[in-house]
Amino acid sequence: MTSNTLNNSNPDTKSLGGSNQKGSGPTKGAAASKWVWNDTTAAWILLTPLLIFFAISVIYPLFETVRLSFYDIRGVAKPVWAGFANYQKLFSDANFLNAMKATFQWTIASTLISVGIGWALALMCSLAPSQTLVFRVMIFAAYGVAEAVSGFMWVGIYRPDAGLLNSILNGIGLSSWAQPWLGDVNTALWAIIVAYVWTQVGLPLMTCFASIQAVPRNLHEAAFIDGASPIKTLWHIVMPLSLPGVRVAIFINLLASLKAFDLIFVLTGGGPIRSTETIGYFMYRESMQNFKLGYGAASTVILLLAVLLVSIPVIVKRTGDAK
Amino acid sequence: MKNRTPKWVLILVGLIAVVWTIPILGIVITSLRPLSEISLGWWRTEELSFTLDAWTKVWSKYPLAQSFWVSVKVSVLATIIPVLLAPAGAYAFQFLKFKGRRVLLIIIINAFVLPNQLVVIPLFRLWREVGLIDNIWAVIIPSAGLSFAWAVFLVKNYLEDFPKELIEAATVDGCGPIARFFHVVLPNSLTPIAAVAILQFLWTWNGLLLPVVFLRSEITLTALLARIQGVYDRNWDQVSVAAIVTTVVPLIIFIIFQRYFTAGASTHTGSKE
């Protein structure tokens, strides 16, 4: 490795061919005629601006959050060392325990439902790729709508007085089912999950569809020649081969829903009686509204651990692959 | 393969797609009808008339134009930074040999799992110290910084298939590592760079957490929308206009460039299998 840093030659230049035997004669000659940086210097020149941003917005917050989680901080007063007190308090705080439960419920439910629907849609769309293009875009469009906006849209659907959902229920004679969806502790979380699924389905639809499109055409043809029906082809060939897309979608959805904040902020603000607070929202409430920064930081560390738990298998795999 | 698609598949997918657009349709119609008619629901047709009233009034009632401009500034700047810096980083990681390359790459790429929430408390304290609260850079810096994880990954992924001959030829011609980047690699990797730009622009524009925490007086559209709803001001028609204004820019970009998402997704899959 170190020999490469002595001149600017890329190790790949050694494979240039017969005329360039043993080392990099022409390269060196050309390089000597002009002043050029070696790889190491060039790499650091190219990377430094990026690393500054990265350090400020990832590295520093990472360590600082962990550090602050061991302090008792009230507003702008001087932080007081608190040891594990914040963590002990968290695990005896009914609101936090509920936030953990809500996060778990939210993450599992929204991932399973949106990936399930998205995958099923992708499989159906793959039967007629060109005819369903418009439909795919229509469904995918919801993924491009800001959660702040979709929150507003769903308030219009859920509101108790003249919401679309209650009106439909009344219209088809199920008035007894109508209720204040976002105002009831029993339904509020599920109501937000449904709204969230609405925004998310587009992603698994697209990733699954993309990996189905990558299924070699001749596999379809072989199945066709063998007399398999489209549905059979779908079941035995396309579905197994679309699994990469499904895995990506599950992974992205899990991570995104663990961090959930926007939709809850707009739809319920964590209510009623803090029943729809996820960990991500709990942290916002404790640190930005109750000004308990240390306490909020401790809950962020818990969130971080949850995120790492989900992603470590992927990280390990990717890290093993990295060259 | 032609015409062997069962009809019911098309009908079912079409039906789902139509249902899927109802929430969007709802706010569009709400914004176009007088409040008196839609107080019981935008779908009521006992009286049916259309008006652009809300569209003209909303601008004076809410600082919509100002927020639009804030959103544009924040999103454009937070997009330009990774578009300029991520390809340089990806190039360095892919084609240059230097000490610590592997470790650094692993750290940067894996940071994409970190939640946005992580930056809130430390940066809130830091910005308070340096007086950046209520300054758009308070949102731009972390938005850009958090993007590098996936942006570098996306571009580097593309560069893995970059023809090595081009780089070798440039080396033979006396191009140094930085010149090779600017003259050979950069002009030939516009596809992943476009993908980075589009994704980053959309995510910044649509983001709510960072603007809500770091901005006070001049806020982004998403934060404005959340604030309008927060005060329980049920001018449904006007809030709908605000919602549409918030959505229209990213939605147009999104629909035009949606194939880049697919491209991004498929490179993701490709790399992991």
Residue B106 is part of a domain; what is its CATH number?
1.10.3720.10
Flag whether B95 is in a domain. yes
d(CA B221, CA B215): 12
Which pLDDT band, with edges at 50, 70 and 90, does A101 fall under? very high
Same domain assignment for residues B215 and B177: yes
Same domain assignment for residues B87 and B66: yes
Same domain assignment for residues B167 and B263: yes
Flag whether B1 is in a domain. no
How many domains, in total, are found in chain B? 2
Same domain assignment for residues B71 and B16: no
Same domain assignment for residues B116 and B216: yes
**A159 CB contacts (<8 Å, ≥6 apart)?**
A166, A182
Q: Which two tokens stand for residue A247?
A: 């895995």
Residues of chain B with pLDDT under 70: 1-5, 230-234, 259-273
Q: Would you state the pLDDT for residue B32?
A: 87
Chain B contact for A191, CB < 8 A? no
Least confident of A1-10, A255-264, B31-40: A1-10
Are B120 and A288 inside 8 Å of each other by CB? yes
Identify the closest residue of chain A to B220 by CA–CA distance: A148
Estimate to the nearest angstrom the gap between the alpha carbon of B216 and the chain centroid: 22
Q: Would you state the pLDDT for residue A14?
A: 38
**B168 CB contacts (<8 Å, ≥6 apart)?**
A10, A12, A13, A16
Same domain assignment for residues B74 and B37: no
B150 CB neighbours in chain A (<8 A) are none
Chain A contact for B248, CB < 8 A? no
Out of A42, A135, A322, name the one closest to residue B17 (CB): A135
d(CA B255, CA A146): 14
pLDDT greater than 70 at residue A254: yes
Out of A10, A124, A258, name the one closest to residue B167 (CB): A10
Same domain assignment for residues B140 and B161: yes
Q: Would you state the pLDDT for residue B233?
A: 59
Out of A124, A308, A322, name the one closest to residue B105 (CB): A322
Chain B contact for A77, CB < 8 A? no
Same domain assignment for residues B14 and B134: no
**How many Cβ contacts (< 8 angstroms) between chains A and B?**
370
d(CA B201, CA B74): 9
CA nearest B265: which of A217, A175, A92, A203?
A: A203
Q: Would you state the pLDDT for residue B9?
A: 85
Are A53 and B144 inside 8 Å of each other by CB? yes
Distance from CA of A186 to the nearest CA of B (A): 22
> Could you give the 3-state DSSP secondary structure of residue B218?
coil
> Could you give the 3-state DSSP secondary structure of residue A203?
helix
Chain A contact for B85, CB < 8 A? yes
Q: Which two tokens stand for residue A110?
A: 């929204």
B240 vs A228: which has the higher pLDDT: B240
DSSP string over A257-269: HHT--HHHHHHTT
Flag whether B213 is in a domain. yes
Distance from CA of A236 to the nearest CA of B (A): 17
Domains with residue ranges and CATH for chain A? 2-82 (no CATH), 88-321 (1.10.3720.10)
Q: Say which residue the tokens 């549905």 belong to.
A: A231
As a whole number, mean pLDDT of residues A33-45 equals 76
Same domain assignment for residues B21 and B122: no
Same domain assignment for residues B37 and B131: no
A320 vs A21: which has the higher pLDDT: A320
Flag whether B191 is in a domain. yes
Q: Would you state the pLDDT for residue A17?
A: 38
A175 vs B182: which has the higher pLDDT: B182
Distance from CA of B192 to the nearest CA of A (A): 17
- Exposure string of A73-95, with b = 16+ CB inside 10 Å and e = fewer, is beeeeeeeebeebbbebbeebeb
d(CA A307, CA A285): 20
Q: Which domain holds residue B107?
A: 62-272
CA nearest A7: which of A18, A33, B186, A17?
A: A33
Flag whether B160 is in a domain. yes
Are B27 and A145 inside 8 Å of each other by CB? no
As a whole number, mean pLDDT of residues A66-92 equals 87
B263 vs A18: which has the higher pLDDT: B263
**10 Å Cβ neighbour count for B10?**
17
Which pLDDT band, with edges at 50, 70 and 90, does A321 fall under? low
Which pLDDT band, with edges at 50, 70 and 90, does A7 fall under? very low
Flag whether B173 is in a domain. yes
Chain B contact for A66, CB < 8 A? no
Chain A contact for B167, CB < 8 A? yes
Out of B10, B85, B272, name the one closest to residue A132 (CB): B10
B residues 45-74 lying closer than 8 A (beta carbon) to A: none
Q: Would you state the pLDDT for residue A9?
A: 42
Are B174 and A293 inside 8 Å of each other by CB? no
Same domain assignment for residues B44 and B158: no
A244 vs A318: which has the higher pLDDT: A244
Out of B118, B175, B266, name the one closest to residue A214 (CB): B266
Q: Select the residue from A149, A199, A229, A299 to test the B interface by mutation, using most B Cβ atoms within 10 A.
A: A149
